[in-house]
């Protein structure tokens, strides 16, 4: 096994021999360096630049490395066995023994002396330059033998003094090796997390900027660079577009929503401040507001992008859903689509419109949860000029005017306030409305499709949704099944996402079973996200269970069932215990089982922590 990420800087030829023997026994290939003290820093920097992530060393060399390089330095611990072997070897040359070393080694020698009452002199140094001065002094004092590392050995030869180089036991070396290997695993895991996070942020359609307490930008995604021409190192205060946020940045107050205009576009800004024990930073998230209306726009008529042929699936539940949706498309009655987040509710809404007699008319989608209540009315109905501060000259056309003859899709309809529900109810009844601040009655012809990830019937029972409005919406109800209920559609959809992105990935039987058993709380959107990560991060075209565990986030959700545990429990339990550092209470919580059950399964598989 080769570890290019690890290097060893030995301080003694004896220790080098021990390390070499141990590496051969363990079949591990790590480069060992024996360097003069003045070459250590240059060599270390060279290794760091070429990709080395951890260096193993000891004593003064380790101390110098910690000061001069920015990667972890693992130190081979000093031990009594190594000191004992070194002292016994030195006694062969006489009883005037001098040990030279850095503080940590000298403290260990003093401790050894206090226990064994051995008689030898200890000379402590703080840098390699002091060693030659000490060598000249002990030569004049008639020293028989000196104990130390490579630099001590070098000067001992110059002053013709017998030398015994420091020793250690195999256990100390093995401890350092294990620590270095574990560090490499941790570094690689953190790098993977960072890459996933960085790719996710850059795939976001929103602009995301994070900056420190001084306003210096410390991270920025692709959209932010594109929209605002900013980069890491810039100061957020120099951008005029964010001027209205300056007082909130300085006072460290969060901002939920703030609309600004820049380069003929409207942007919705949200600001959050993050405090930790040692650090403080802020995150600015900026979304483009296209009149707060999400439109699938290919031309001026806002046509749909999807149709029923784009809904993939062979399960009975999705076939039934498509069959009913096609029947609904032939009528003009309101359709209410109910389903969990990420199940494809807008896909069905667009398909119903595409298959209806209104297919050549506009389709306009509005996410009701994304718009503040104060703005929702003006988005739906438009407003007259001068009705409020900041109103556009000539007023604004609402979506009920834009959609005339077409279909309106109101997503997250459960989030509409009772007052707006009442106004929409009147529009449904009268097929006419007035702009905000206006008196003229405007007639409109439209087909209404609504959707919610919350059960509206329960909300009605709990007085959280108007009963009369619910009856108007719930004429044709279309329940969309969640992904987990769609049997083998998971693999079908995953393969489709792979194909659309020009990649060929093959899921192993074990990986496929894992995906079929997983609950998919984020549904198709979560599956799509996983496939995109696999496309980017998988080196091989063969996707195995380990690839899914590394690229997925199942354990954070606790969303796998007992069938999943039965088929893959050994790997999963080991991974969870590793992530929780052996904390069985936290591990059981992540696995969704009791601590007693976890102990029983650990005993079954002989898992030790």
Question: Around Cβ 334, how many Cβ atoms within 10 Å?
Answer: 18
> Rounded to two decimals, what is the model's pTM?
0.47
For domain 204-288, the CATH superfamily is PAS domain (3.30.450.20)
Structurally, at CATH architecture level, domain 484-551 sits in: Orthogonal Bundle (1.10)
- List CB contacts of 533: < 8 A, sequence separation 6 or more: 196, 199, 551, 552
Whole-angstrom distance, CA of residue 88 vs CA of residue 258: 76
Task: Decide: helix, strand or coil at residue 372.
Answer: coil
For domain 80-167, the CATH superfamily is PrpR receptor domain-like (3.40.50.10660)
Q: Where in the chain is the domain with CATH 3.40.50.2300?
A: 6-76+172-187
What CA–CA distances, in Å, run from 340 to 276, 369, 457? 34, 15, 15
407 burial level (CB within 10 Å; 0-12, 13-18, 19+): buried
Phi, then psi, of 131 in degrees rounded to 5 = -65, -40
**For residues 353 and 402, is the Cβ–Cβ distance under 8 A?**
no
**For residues 25 and 170, is the Cβ–Cβ distance under 8 A?**
no
Range 150-174 average pLDDT: 86
Q: Is the pLDDT of residue 87 over 70?
A: yes
Whole-angstrom distance, CA of residue 241 vs CA of residue 262: 7
Whole-angstrom distance, CA of residue 112 vs CA of residue 106: 10
Q: What is the dotted CATH code of the domain comprising 308-481? A: 3.40.50.300
Whole-angstrom distance, CA of residue 538 vs CA of residue 268: 36
Tell me the range of 2-6, 86-90, 270-274, 322-326 where mean pLDDT is highest: 322-326
Q: Where in the chain is the domain with CATH 3.30.450.20?
A: 204-288
Question: Around Cβ 70, how many Cβ atoms within 10 Å?
Answer: 7
Q: Is the pLDDT of residue 334 over 90?
A: yes
Q: What is the dotted CATH code of the domain comprising 6-76+172-187? A: 3.40.50.2300
Question: Around Cβ 142, how many Cβ atoms within 10 Å?
Answer: 8
Whole-angstrom distance, CA of residue 516 vs CA of residue 26: 39
pLDDT tens for each residue of 389-417: 777 777 888 899 888 889 999 999 999 99
Q: Which fold has domain 563-605?
A: Arc Repressor Mutant, subunit A (1.10.10)
pLDDT tens for each residue of 264-320: 788 888 888 988 767 888 999 998 876 444 443 333 346 678 899 999 999 999 999
Tokens of 424: 């929409």
Q: Is the pLDDT of residue 29 over 80?
A: yes
- List CB contacts of 575: < 8 A, sequence separation 6 or more: 549, 555
pLDDT band at 247 (very low <50, low <70, confident <90, very high): confident
Question: Around Cβ 158, how many Cβ atoms within 10 Å?
Answer: 12
Task: Decide: helix, strand or coil at residue 162.
Answer: strand
DSSP string, 432-465: EE--BT----EE---EEEEEESS-HHHHHHTTSS
Question: Around Cβ 41, how many Cβ atoms within 10 Å?
Answer: 15
Q: Please report the pLDDT score of residue 303 as a whole number.
A: 64
Could you tell me which residue, 563 or 5, shows the higher pLDDT? 5
Give the residue among 375, 380, 389 at the shortest CA–CA distance from 450: 380
Whole-angstrom distance, CA of residue 197 vs CA of residue 192: 9
Range 29-42 average pLDDT: 87
Q: Please report the pLDDT score of residue 302 as a whole number.
A: 62
């Amino acid at each position: 096994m080769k570890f290019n990420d690890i290097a060893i800087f030995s301080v003694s030829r004896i220790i080098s021999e021990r390390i070499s023997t141990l590496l051969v026994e363990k079949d591990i290939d790590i480069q060992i360096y024996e360097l003069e003290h003045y070459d250590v820093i240059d060599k270390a920097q060279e290794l760091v630049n070429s990709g080395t992530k951890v260096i193993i060393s000891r004593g003064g060399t380790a101390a110098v490395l910690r000061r001069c390089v920015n990667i972890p330095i693992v130190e081979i611990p000093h031990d009594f066995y190594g000191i004992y072997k070194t002292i016994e070897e030195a006694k062969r040359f006489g009883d005037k023994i001098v040990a030279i070393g850095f503080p940590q080694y000298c403290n260990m020698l003093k401790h050894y002396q206090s226990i064994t009452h051995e008689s030898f002199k200890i000379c402590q140094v703080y840098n390699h330059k002091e060693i030659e001065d000490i060598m000249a002094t002990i030569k004049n004092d008639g020293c028989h033998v000196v104990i130390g590392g490579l630099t001590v050995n070098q000067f001992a030869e110059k002053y013709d003094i017998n030398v015994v180089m420091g020793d250690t036991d195999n256990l100390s070396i093995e401890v350092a090796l294990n620590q270095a290997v574990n560090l490499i695993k941790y570094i690689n895991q953190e790098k993977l997390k960072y890459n996933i996070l960085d790719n996710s942020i850059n795939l976001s359609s929103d602009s995301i900027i994070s900056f420190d307490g001084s306003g210096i930008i410390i991270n920025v995604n692709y959209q932010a660079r594109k929209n605002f021409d900013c980069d890491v190192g810039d100061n957020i205060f120099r951008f005029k577009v964010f001027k209205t946020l300056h007082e909130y940045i300085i006072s460290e107050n969060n901002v939920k929503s703030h609309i600004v205009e820049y380069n003929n576009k409207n942007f919705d800004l949200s600001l959050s401040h993050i405090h930790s024990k040692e650090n403080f930073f802020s995150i600015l998230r900026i979304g483009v507001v296209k009149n707060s209306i999400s439109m699938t726009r290919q031309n001026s008529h806002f046509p749909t992008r999807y149709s029923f042929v784009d809904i993939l699936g062979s399960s009975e539940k999705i076939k039934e859903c498509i069959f009913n949706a096609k029947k609904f498309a032939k009528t003009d009655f309101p359709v209410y689509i109910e389903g969990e987040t990420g199940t494809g509710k807008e896909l069905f809404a667009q398909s119903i419109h595409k298959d209806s007699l209104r297919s050549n008319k506009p389709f306009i989608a509005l996410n009701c949860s994304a718009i503040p209540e104060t703005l929702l009315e003006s988005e739906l109905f438009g407003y007259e000029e001068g009705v409020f501060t900041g109103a556009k000259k000539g007023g604004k056309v609402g979506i009920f005017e834009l959609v005339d003859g077409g279909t309106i899709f109101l997503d997250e309809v459960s989030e509409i306030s009772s007052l707006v529900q009442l106004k929409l109810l009147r529009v449904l009844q009268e097929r006419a409305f007035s702009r905000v601040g206006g008196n003229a009655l405007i007639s409109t012809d439209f087909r209404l499709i609504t959707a919610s990830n919350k059960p509206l019937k329960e909300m009605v029972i709990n007085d959280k949704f108007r009963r009369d409005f619910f009856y108007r919406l719930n004429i044709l109800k279309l329940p969309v099944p969640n992904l987990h209920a769609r049997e083998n559609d998971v693999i079908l959809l995953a393969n489709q996402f792979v194909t659309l992105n020009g990649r060929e990935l093959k899921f192993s039987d074990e990986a496929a079973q894992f995906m079929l058993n997983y609950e998919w709380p984020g549904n198709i959107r979560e599956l799509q996200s996983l496939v995109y990560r696999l496309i980017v991060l998988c080196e091989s075209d063969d996707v195995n269970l380990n690839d899914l565990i590394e690229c997925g986030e199942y354990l954070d959700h606790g969303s796998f069932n007992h069938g999943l545990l039965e088929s893959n429990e050994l790997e999963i339990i080991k991974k969870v215990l590793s992530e929780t550092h052996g904390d069985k209470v936290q591990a059981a919580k992540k696995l969704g089982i009791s601590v007693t059950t976890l102990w029983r399964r650990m005993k079954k598989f002989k898992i030790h922590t």
